[in-house]
Amino acid sequence: MVNSGDTIFALASGFGRAGIAVIRLSGPGSRGAVETLLAGGLPAPRRASLRRLRDPGTGEPLDQALVLWLPGPASFTGEDQAELHIHGGVAVRAAVLRALAGLPGLRAAEPGEFTRRAFLSGRMDLSAVEGLADLIDAETEAQRRQAFRQLEGALAGRVADWRERLVDALALAEAGLDFSDEADVAEAASAEAAAIFHAVGDEVGMELARAGTGERLREGFVVVIAGPPNAGKSTLLNALARREVAIVSPHAGTTRDVIEVRCDLGGLPVTFVDTAGLREAADPVEQEGIARTRKRARDADLVLWLLAPGGSAEPDGELGAAPVVRVATKRDLAPAPPGADLAVSALTGAGLDALIALVRERAELGLTGAGDAVITRERHRRALEDVAAALARAAEAQRIGHEELAAEDLRLAVRALGRITGRVDVEEVLDRIFGQFCIGK
């Protein structure tokens, strides 16, 4: 796993008009590129310097920029890097990017390529890389905290500790095998190994038990709005979307105006999903999105079952196992039918605050303990499940006197831990993880 030796560049700030735009470069050609673009020599390392950028071909001035020269290995990627803080106009950006693209040995970066280089040069482990991706994607305060903890090594630290202890246990188990002709030495070593890996197994089990909250916080607490046709699902979702001040990203649906709304309910990420769009005939392009929404509905954390006046109070079988709250709709037309937990009118807004408060309360319950969970992704959970299974097998092997098998299972457990931080078996996950990044990170 080595870097290609190319020098890459990309706009690291957002698109659109802005005061400042940041372009970053990484790779062995960064120095030459900056020297070519600047009139005058390279700035002192890690010192911001106001310089004029010029077109390398014509010498025409392009912009005035704050230039940073960040020589490796003490840089984000571990390579020579530079940053150009230019004016954030569309034409300025285009001109500077064009000038860079014209320099020999430079090319535009792929999504996540800077971070990939940071990983390959050993500056970050894989769980920190995921933490960074989550931090960039974080939409609520709770998500930001969780992502930052992971970036800072909350998971990597636990994994390193478990790994070290299991390597000790493995060494003891192997010593036991070496001294198998001296019964008491062998027995003492294997008992000591067992004490260690049982303790690690218990800790891993505790983390697995709260894995759900960490994953839920990362993805958002999902509230599905379901009910018979015309119960008022879409109208309610739109009313919630208008009311909830901090809508993060309304996804424009194709069959209806909105099918999913991500909200920040007092710092907690809550996603409302309208199942109305699901029942409508879908053209093939939409089917992928609809399949995803259907899966979300099945995996919902809470279902709001809407009943219009005169409607059925019983949820249908398509829903998963999530708790159901019965919400009577169109309260302006008729009083709530018996069996409703809550009554609202999307038209007048009556009852919406109570509904939002209820959802917020359920989300808070569902995310309890998320602040301490270190498992935030299925990838981590699967690796730790493998660790737990290997340790359980090791315990069983020891119990029936198969010390070699116990040692082999300890080796497998150590290997599974290594997958989390990217020490082993890393190739298969790299493209998936780095592909989620934006360009310029």
Strand (E) or helix (H) holding 247 = strand 247-252
Edge-to-edge strand order for the sheet containing 258-265?
A: 247-252, 258-265, 268-274, 221-226, 302-307, 324-328, 342-343
Preceding amide of 73 cis, omega within 30: yes
Q: Where are the extended beta strands (E) located within 117-234?
A: 221-226
Q: Which is nearer to ligand GDP, 256 or 360 (CB)?
A: 256
Neighbours of 80 (CB within 10 A): 22
Q: Which is nearer to ligand GDP, 345 or 376 (CB)?
A: 345
State the residues that interact with ligand GDP by CB under 6 A.
Answer: 227, 229-235, 276, 329-330, 332-333, 345-347
Q: Which is nearer to ligand GDP, 3 or 255 (CB)?
A: 255
At residue 25, the 3 state secondary structure works out as strand
Q: Which is nearer to ligand GDP, 220 or 311 (CB)?
A: 311
**CB of 279 vs ligand GDP, minimal distance in Å:** 8
Neighbours of 114 (CB within 10 A): 26
- 7, β-bridge pairs: 106
At residue 64, the 3 state secondary structure works out as strand
Beta carbons of 82 and 113 less than 8 angstroms apart: no
Beta carbons of 20 and 29 less than 8 angstroms apart: no
DSSP-assigned states of every residue in 383-409: HHHHHHHHHHHHHHHHHTT-HHHHHHH
Phi-psi group of 330: left, alpha or beta (phi > 0 → left; psi -120 to 50 → alpha; rest → beta): left
At residue 418, the 3 state secondary structure works out as helix
Q: Which is nearer to ligand GDP, 158 or 233 (CB)?
A: 233
**CB of 125 vs ligand GDP, minimal distance in Å:** 46
**CB of 342 vs ligand GDP, minimal distance in Å:** 13
**CB of 328 vs ligand GDP, minimal distance in Å:** 10
Q: Which is nearer to ligand GDP, 41 or 229 (CB)?
A: 229
Rounded distance between C-alpha atoms, residue 434 and residue 111, angstroms: 7
**CB of 224 vs ligand GDP, minimal distance in Å:** 13
Q: Which is nearer to ligand GDP, 296 or 377 (CB)?
A: 296
**CB of 233 vs ligand GDP, minimal distance in Å:** 3
**CB of 296 vs ligand GDP, minimal distance in Å:** 17
Question: Torsions phi, psi of 63, nearest 5?
Answer: -170, 170
Rounded distance between C-alpha atoms, residue 66 and residue 34, angstroms: 12
Amino acid at 159: V
Q: Which is nearer to ligand GDP, 115 or 235 (CB)?
A: 235
Q: Where are the extended beta strands (E) located within 253-318?
A: 258-265, 268-274, 302-307
**CB of 344 vs ligand GDP, minimal distance in Å:** 7
**CB of 235 vs ligand GDP, minimal distance in Å:** 3
Q: Which is nearer to ligand GDP, 214 or 253 (CB)?
A: 253
**CB of 361 vs ligand GDP, minimal distance in Å:** 23
**CB of 270 vs ligand GDP, minimal distance in Å:** 19
Q: Which is nearer to ligand GDP, 143 or 329 (CB)?
A: 329
Cα-trace Rg, the chain: 28
Q: Where are the extended beta strands (E) located within 332-436?
A: 342-343
Q: Which is nearer to ligand GDP, 312 or 368 (CB)?
A: 312
Beta carbons of 115 and 434 less than 8 angstroms apart: yes
Q: Where are the extended beta strands (E) located within 33-191?
A: 49-54, 61-70, 81-87, 106-108
